[in-house]
Amino acid sequence: MAPEIQSLFPSSTAVLLLLGACLSAAAVAALGAADDASRPAVPLPGGGARRVLFANGLGLTPQMGWNSWNHFQCDINEAVVRRTADALVATGLAKAGYKYVNLDDCWADYQRTKEGYMIANPKTFPSGIKALADYVHSKGLKLGIYSSAGTRTCSNRMPGSLGHEDKDAKTFASWGVDYLKYDNCYRDGTPETVRFGRMSRALKNSGRPIFYSLCEWGYMEVPKWGGMYGNSWRTTGDIIDTWSGMLDNIDRNDAYARYAKPGGWNDPDMLEVGNGGMAYNEYVVHFSLWAIAKFKCSVLSTHARGKSSLIDSSSCVPIVFGADRMGVQGNKVKKYGNDLEVWAGQLSRHRKAVLLLNRGATRSASITAAWPDVGIRRGVTVEARDVWKHETLPGRFTGSLTAVVGPHSCKLFVLTPVPR
């Protein structure tokens, strides 16, 4: 890795090991490299296709990219964003599918112009968003932006889009924006279905396909109606960079697994990998759960020794799972007591993703994935590939797969049927 690129990464050995392990998986799965817009409807077993209700041609696999919030919060500027775009390309993450470079809150000036337009903060984004979008596009990437379905955004440092939906959507389109994260602060009492629906219509009429991410926080059971308006929807409150906080978000998200589909995805919030609140093995669990749940395989920002740094927040398992065009969200299928769990999800070519999770803090445990629990027919024989070790286990398995899993750890497998 070139020194100028290496300086963008934190010094944490654990994070660098994650990066190396994940990037090597790109060769394992030549999946999902094409733009979403070029993908056809996803066929289902037995014929037919999943219907995309919000049909803008985007999000047929979960979005992958970088977002500024979880580390930088309001401390962002155009130089950080440009360096991030450079690093996504230089490290090979862009080629692996990490296309979105997303600004979160605090990018705009405090007030609108006298004509009612939102503009970039002249101190932190002096070149403007159009110039930034042009730069990001020149790297083969896509630019995302942020607003709120209220009078102000959550930081209260910039205006929201309530009452300005059409003007803002057309402004974003004129700048070349490709993605909108739409938050839920400073609302006026109008139902979420109305306020988020207004922006949905405005984006459709903006003249540009823009990925629409509803950050509605799981109010009003958003998975049941989010697909009529957007490409993804938050099923939870903001993630907390702790073991219990991470698990709480994925558990809430799991309740709505059946509503995820190509074109519309459940969102348990962004990955926290590298931000320092969890241990290495806990971040591996975080990666793996988000991947098997088919969402938010994002690259997040972090900081090290005063330098802006880039963390790969999941380029291994998402390439295998998130970019899999089957488009079925995996979910929790079996519990053994309070701590031991089996998660499973359907992949293309009759494969299964299986995750064995030990939530306990003190001891290793043996966990079994039985074929009836993970959706494999009795009598079927499989090969098992360990996703994190990039190894195929010796022998073949019929009826079940058992592994010993350490505390606060998981093991993640792809099971592929083989002739007996």
Is residue 357 predicted with pLDDT exceeding 60?
yes
Q: 324 falls in which pLDDT band (50, 70, 90)? A: low
Q: 295 falls in which pLDDT band (50, 70, 90)? A: low
Placement of tokens 């839920």 in the chain = 184
Alpha helices in 357-414 (DSSP H): 371-374
Is residue 17 predicted with pLDDT exceeding 80?
no
- How do residues 146-182 score in pLDDT, each as one tens digit? 999 999 999 999 999 999 999 999 999 999 999 999 9
User: What mean pLDDT is predicted for residues 126-148?
Assistant: 98
Question: Residues 137, 219: one domain?
Answer: yes
Is there a domain that residue 382 lies in? Answer: yes
Question: Residues 304, 340: one domain?
Answer: no
User: What mean pLDDT is predicted for residues 92-106?
Assistant: 89
Task: Pick the range with the lowest mean pLDDT from 9-18, 74-83, 105-114.
Answer: 9-18
Point out which residues pair with 303 in neighbouring strands. Answer: 308
User: What mean pLDDT is predicted for residues 209-215?
Assistant: 97
Task: Pick the range with the lowest mean pLDDT from 185-189, 341-345, 386-390.
Answer: 386-390
DSSP 197-258: HHHHHHHHTTTS--EEEE--TTGGGGGGTGGGT-SEEE-SS---SSHHHHHHHHHHHHTTGG
Is residue 190 predicted with pLDDT exceeding 90?
yes
Cα separation values, 4 from 1, 183, 393, Å = 8, 35, 38
Question: Residues 396, 314: one domain?
Answer: no
Question: Residues 254, 352: one domain?
Answer: no
Is there a domain that residue 5 lies in? Answer: no
The whole-number pLDDT of residue 61 equals 86
Is residue 321 predicted with pLDDT exceeding 70?
no
Question: Residues 136, 230: one domain?
Answer: yes
Contact yes or no for 332/367 (Cβ under 8 A): no
Structural domain total, the chain:
2
- How do residues 35-47 score in pLDDT, each as one tens digit? 333 333 333 333 3
Is there a domain that residue 223 lies in? Answer: yes
Is there a domain that residue 373 lies in? Answer: yes
Is there a domain that residue 222 lies in? Answer: yes
Residue finishing a domain among 322, 349, 381: 322
Residue finishing a domain among 266, 287, 322: 322
Question: Residues 382, 287: one domain?
Answer: no
Neighbours of 55 (CB within 10 A): 10
The whole-number pLDDT of residue 298 equals 53
| End-to-end Cα separation, the chain, in angstroms | 44
Question: Residues 277, 360: one domain?
Answer: no
Residue finishing a domain among 297, 322, 347: 322
- What's the whole-number average pLDDT of the chain? 84
Domain of 384, CATH number, reads 2.60.40.1180
Rounded to whole angstroms, the Cα distance separating 330 from 256 reads 11
Structure token pair of residue 198: 């207004």
Rounded to whole angstroms, the Cα distance separating 182 from 43 reads 30
Q: 320 falls in which pLDDT band (50, 70, 90)? A: low
Is residue 109 predicted with pLDDT exceeding 70?
yes
Domain of 102, CATH number, reads 3.20.20.70
Rounded to whole angstroms, the Cα distance separating 174 from 176 reads 5
Task: Pick the range with the lowest mean pLDDT from 22-31, 134-143, 151-160, 240-249.
Answer: 22-31
Question: Which residues carry out catalysis?
Answer: 183, 238
Rounded to whole angstroms, the Cα distance separating 388 from 241 reads 22
Question: Residues 292, 352: one domain?
Answer: no
Is residue 308 predicted with pLDDT exceeding 50?
no
Is there a domain that residue 1 lies in? Answer: no
Question: Residues 239, 356: one domain?
Answer: no
The whole-number pLDDT of residue 326 equals 72
Is there a domain that residue 2 lies in? Answer: no
Question: Residues 318, 359: one domain?
Answer: no
Say what percent of the chain tops pLDDT 90: 69
Is residue 128 predicted with pLDDT exceeding 60?
yes
Q: 300 falls in which pLDDT band (50, 70, 90)? A: low
Is there a domain that residue 46 lies in? Answer: no
Question: Residues 358, 269: one domain?
Answer: no
Rounded to whole angstroms, the Cα distance separating 420 from 409 reads 32
User: What mean pLDDT is predicted for residues 124-135?
Assistant: 98
Question: Residues 212, 354: one domain?
Answer: no
The whole-number pLDDT of residue 406 equals 98
Q: Write down the pTM of the prediction.
A: 0.86
Domain around 240: 12-40+51-322
User: What mean pLDDT is predicted for residues 282-311?
Assistant: 64
